Amino acid sequence: MNVLFVCTGNICRSPTGEAVLRRMAEAAGLGDTVTIDSCGTHAYHTGLPPDARAREAGERRGYDFAGQRARTFSSADFDRFDPILAMDSGHFDRLMRAVPAARAGRIRLFLDFAPGTGRRDVPDPYDGSAEDYELALDLIEAGCRGIVAMLLERKATA
């Protein structure tokens, strides 16, 4: 399975999702069965590493962001990834407007994997405080736990 996280600039939410899911997948014994990547809907930060505040929050919890660089979503991603996880409703809508009809089922709202949060969107912490980065990370961890459960279920039934 190939999982893609999508946010706006690919420096806060989506690279955090990539780092969190990578560690959780490894811990669940899924590391060799899943490819994880992230990208942004806009080219604001192409080539840059994740935001320092996102890295600091994640690294405090043991997540590794090494080697990550922002990139922009490409139409080829519709063929390479399933699921494609939009971090908020705006990303979801943007992707749904661009996706070929045959690939529309690949687009998912990330927090659909964490219904217990009572939220649909992971709020963008970029202009916020350290607490905003912690909240985003809490939500991303919840969603990634749901994704790992789905991956384990798929593996068991394969």
Cβ neighbors of 136 (< 8 A, separation 6 or more) are: 12, 13, 16, 54, 57, 122, 123, 124, 125
Catalytic, out of 7, 12, 39, 144:
7
Between CA 126 and CA 149 the distance in angstroms is: 29
Cβ–Cβ < 8 Å for 135, 123: yes
- List beta partners, residue 33: none
Q: Helices marked H in 30-88 — which ranges?
A: 52-60, 77-80
Choose the catalytic residue: 12, 13, 39, 94: 13
Q: Give yes or no: 13 in active site.
A: yes
Distance CA 16, CA 108 (A): 17
Structure tokens at 51: 């935001």
Cβ proximity of 62 and 23 under 8 Å: yes
In the residue annotation, 7 being an active-site residue is answered as yes
Residue 137 in contact with residue 57, Cβ under 8 Å?
A: yes
Of the listed 112, 121, 124, 138, which one is catalytic? 124
Residues carrying an active site annotation: 7, 13, 124
